[in-house]
Amino acid sequence: MNEYVLITGASRGIGKAIAKKLAENGYNLYLTCLHHGDELKEYCKELSQTYEVSCIPFVCDIGDYYDVAKMFDQIPLVNIVINNAGIAWLGLLTDMTPDEWDKVIRTNLSSLYNTSKCAVPIMLRLGGGRIVNISSVWGQVGASTEVAYSASKGGVNGFTRALAKELAPSNISVNAISCGVIDTDMNRSHLSEDDLEVLKNEIPAGRLGTPEEVADMTLKIITSPEYMTGQIISLDGGWI
């Protein structure tokens, strides 16, 4: 397979699981992260050796357009972009500093503009492409003490629907996965075990989702008919 996939936030959690799933299926990879460059480099080496695919790591601030553009100077070919990078901030809005607000919005939402602006011209030259954005149920219903995160993911959903309409005539599909509570390091660092147990009891499936399930859904989306675009696909165990 000669398709090349850019996955942001790929050093752990959902992004790492997506990278493994796509490598297993023969996709060549560009993986990005900001804070775990050594781990990402080792993971790329592991994927390359195990699955015999190309896997190139980039340390990049995905929320900084000029850093992303510099990265794309080294990416001549990309068929698929998985916008997964994201951060959370838990607390009252009145306790949040402007810099903390900006960091969440830049990482979770502005990053989609950054990667899309750079990748879409390449996809247009190739005659098509796929963009998958990792969103959250909080972008649909909002979460108390997670205003910035909820706002950013609501923006991801609006961005997905609008860009899908813009790019549909060019055979570029744009979809999003609206994740429920996924068992990741990020969620475990922000939520106590008691909080997680309460959430499990609220979720009809009776458990948290796994990064591997998000990876499976991502593969299904990028191999779906091109006619499927502009969709926000819930993966939340029946919760919302």
Residue 187 counted as domain residue: yes
Q: What is the pLDDT of residues 202-228, one digit of tens each?
A: 999 999 999 999 999 999 999 999 999
- Nearest-CA neighbor of 83 among 202, 214, 180? 214
What's the rounded mean pLDDT across residues 165-182? 98
Residue 208 counted as domain residue: yes
DSSP 7: E
Residue 114 counted as domain residue: yes
> Phi and psi for 91 in degrees, rounded to 5?
155, 175
What's the confidence (pLDDT) of residue 206?
A: 95
What's the rounded mean pLDDT across residues 120-132? 98
Alpha carbon of residue 101 to chain centroid: 19
What's the confidence (pLDDT) of residue 233?
A: 98
Instruction: List the CATH number of the domain containing 179.
Output: 3.40.50.720
Question: Which range of residues forms the domain containing residue 104?
Answer: 4-235
Residue 197 counted as domain residue: yes
Q: Using 50, 70 and 90 to split pLDDT, how confident is the model at 194?
A: confident
Q: What is the pLDDT of residues 97-122, one digit of tens each?
A: 999 999 999 999 999 999 999 999 99
Q: Which of 4, 30, 149, 227 is catalytic?
A: 149
Q: Give the span between the Cα atoms of 181 and 217, in whole angstroms.
A: 15
Q: Give the span between the Cα atoms of 55 and 109, in whole angstroms.
A: 25
Residue 240 counted as domain residue: no
Sign of CA dihedral 43, 45, 46, 52: positive
Residue 38 counted as domain residue: yes
pTM: 0.96
What's the rounded mean pLDDT across residues 116-136? 98
Q: Using 50, 70 and 90 to split pLDDT, how confident is the model at 190?
A: confident
DSSP 209: B
Q: What is the pLDDT of residues 41-80, one digit of tens each?
A: 999 999 999 999 999 999 999 999 999 999 999 999 999 9
What's the rounded mean pLDDT across residues 163-192? 92
Residue 195 counted as domain residue: yes
Residue 108 counted as domain residue: yes
Q: How many domains does the chain have?
A: 1
What's the confidence (pLDDT) of residue 1?
A: 65
**Is 27 annotated as catalytic?**
no
Quote the tokens at residue 149.
């995160």
The gap between the terminal CA atoms of the chain, to the nearest Å, is 37
